[in-house]
Amino acid sequence: MNRRIGAALVAAVALLIPAACGSSDSDGASADKQAFSFTDDLGTKIQLDEMPDRLVVQSSMAAALSDLGLGDKIVGVFGPLKGDGDAAQVAGLDIDSVEDVTGGGEYGDVDVEKVAALKPDLVITSQYLAPDLWYVNEASATAIKKLAPILVVDFDGKTLPELLDGTERAATALGADLDSAKVKASHEAFDAAGERVKATAQKLGDRTILAGSGSTDLFYVSNPKVSPDLSYWVDELGLPITIPDNPDEGGYFESLSWEKADKYPADIFLYDDRVGAAGLKQLDNEKVFGTLEAAKNKAYVPWSSVAPPSYQAYADLMNRLADDLNAFV
């Protein structure tokens, strides 16, 4: 973690200490510049002659780094930015101040020419299921690596606090000050919001919550066991979110036909807000889903299943969750 250097220290020591901050892999700095050395969650060791000042970042990760005071270093982003259900993924990011380098092809396509024009020092994304990178397909990753290293924060198998701490570890290496009043306040806000959700969970009694989303043909029941946020809300805060008994490969959800949408009872439906207004409206046309108590009472609560991995973003998200759930207590 970065620390201020007392004026009484000699100049040589003052130059060496910042070079070591944020990483255990420091290779030392010259007298006129600070080197960057960091081993990411995939074990990739990234070494640069100078601290990276031009970052191209996956959109939700970019929002998290902005929360941690690094917004002025972000010159480009890729991944969802606008449209139904996307806004929560980038809450806190000034999308008008960065170049959108998302490609126009299949999932994970990045416009490499736009990336090259931005001359990034570093590209940053995350990983949910190995070996795939979040919003970067293999072809794009191969091309990007010729321009700049890719730093990956791994979320696979992490608890929510571990996920958020992993983002802060990378941010610290990039120069974020975790001792700042803003960052400390975000941790306090996270804890306070968690207590609000816990209190709401106690009021729910024996009512059940089902988390999920839908497509034209299938109803997806999300699995709290592998979703860091849902798992935290169940295990730490006591929300009664149903755990499906037959998850698909990968474990994130159980796919059901709409004819079987009543497999699990639900007093409240926690819907993935990426489906947007159109996806929520679709529920009105599903007759079997309509037999659930949640559907009869329109007890629908939005769930930002992809949010910026920062304590501030999740504090805001949990406060909204507490507010929305309290409407049905």
For residue 7, the SS3 value is coil
Model confidence at 40, pLDDT cuts 50, 70, 90, reads very high
- The model's pTM: 0.86
One fold for 36-177 and 183-327 = yes
Domain 36-177 is in which class? alpha beta
pLDDT recorded at residue 85: 53
Model confidence at 19, pLDDT cuts 50, 70, 90, reads very low
pLDDT recorded at residue 32: 55
Where b means 16+ CB within 10 Å and e means fewer, 4-17 reads eeeeeeeeeeebee
Q: What is the DSSP string of 106-118?
A: STT-B-HHHHHHH
pLDDT recorded at residue 81: 86
Q: Which of 14-18, 36-40, 50-54 has the lowest mean pLDDT?
A: 14-18
Residues 20-32: pLDDT tens digits? 344 444 444 444 5
Alpha carbon distance 115, 92 (integer Å): 22
SS3 of the chain: helix, strand, coil, percent, to 5: 40, 20, 45
Which one has a higher pLDDT value, 290 or 13?
290
Strand partners, 218: 257
Q: Where exactly are the structural domains of the chain?
A: 36-177, 183-327
pLDDT recorded at residue 86: 55
Among 286, 267, 260, which residue's Cα sits nearest to residue 275? Answer: 286
Q: Indicate if the pLDDT at residue 159 is higher than 70.
A: yes
For residue 124, the SS3 value is strand
Burial class (CB in 10 A: 0-12, 13-18, 19+), 36: buried
Alpha carbon distance 269, 289 (integer Å): 10
pLDDT recorded at residue 31: 45
Domain 183-327 is in which class? alpha beta
Residues 53-98: pLDDT tens digits? 999 999 999 999 999 999 999 999 999 887 555 567 888 888 888 9
Q: Tell me if the bond preceding 131 is cis, omega within 30° of 0.
A: yes
**Interhelix angle for 228-235 vs 160-173, to 10°?**
130
Average pLDDT of span 306-317: 95
Q: What single-letter DSSP state applies at residue 274?
A: G
Residues 200-243: pLDDT tens digits? 999 999 999 999 999 999 999 999 999 999 999 999 999 999 99
Alpha carbon distance 193, 27 (integer Å): 41
